[in-house]
């Protein structure tokens, strides 16, 4: 089973993914990307960083699934990790949910919305991205929220919507949600 966390840039996907891992011992999945590594990110932990040629080889060998492009970078999920029987958690771009659900069979998708858009934008600015990239990301945040609010089919792809207020309350809520979901799945498997 894969727990997929989606939401706008700066909503806390990475942070909450790590909290789920730390508090519940759930395996972290790492997306493969051609995006350059940011300061503080660890290759193989935050993401697996490859060049365009390496990405295409992985894709052609069907070693990665649910591939997509975003802001000029390529992304994909390691097939072995996505097909594992173990419970794991991964970040997901909301626009890739349809493709992800086609290729990954057991998904519990959580869409996260910031209670405060300005705070999400400040989190984005803390990354010290090049100005052009930052502007694209801010525009994407605004479009992303508009798309999600106006597209009922998109909203229905997610099993749970979580409003992040960037406090311990959100951490406690997501831990409870994940624990309850896993418990329900285990009961179904036993019967």
What pLDDT score does 137 carry?
A: 83
Q: Cβ neighbours of residue 153 under 8 Å, at least 6 residues apart?
A: none
Domains, the chain, ordered by start? 2-29+86-190 (3.40.50.300)
Place of tokens 């992040």: 164
Nearest CA among 122, 173, 121 for reference residue 144: 121
For 47-99, the pLDDT digits (tens) are: 999 999 999 999 999 999 999 998 889 999 999 999 998 999 999 988 899 99
- pTM beyond 0.85: the answer is yes
The Cα–Cα gap between 122 and 10 comes to: 8
Query: Which residue ranges of the chain lie beneath pLDDT 50?
Result: none
Write out the two tokens for 85: 């029987």
What tokens were used for 156? 């229905």
Q: Report pLDDT for 171.
A: 96
Element (H, E) at 162: strand 160-164
CA 31, 37, 41, 42: dihedral to nearest 10 degrees?
70
């Amino acid at each position: 089973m894969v727990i997929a966390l989606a939401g706008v840039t700066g909503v806390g996907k990475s942070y909450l993914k790590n909290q789920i891992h730390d508090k519940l011992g759930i395996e972290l999945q790492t997306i493969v990307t051609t995006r350059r590594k940011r300061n503080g990110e660890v290759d193989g932990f935050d993401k697996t960083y490859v060049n365009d040629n390496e990405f295409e080889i992985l894709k052609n060998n069907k070693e990665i699934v649910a591939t997509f492009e975003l802001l000029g970078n390529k992304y994909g999920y390691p097939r072995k990790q996505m097909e594992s029987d173990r419970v794991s958690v991964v970040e997901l771009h909301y626009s890739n949910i349809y493709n992800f659900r086609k290729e990954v069979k057991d998904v519990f998708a959580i869409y996260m919305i910031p209670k405060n858009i300005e705070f999400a934008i400040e989190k984005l600015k803390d990354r010290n991205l090049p100005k052009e990239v930052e502007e694209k990301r801010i525009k994407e945040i605004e479009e992303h929220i508009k798309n999600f609010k106006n597209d009922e089919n998109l909203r229905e792809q997610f099993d749970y919507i979580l409003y992040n207020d960037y406090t311990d309350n959100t951490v406690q809520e997501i831990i409870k949600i994940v624990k309850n979901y896993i418990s329900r799945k285990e009961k179904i498997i036993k019967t």
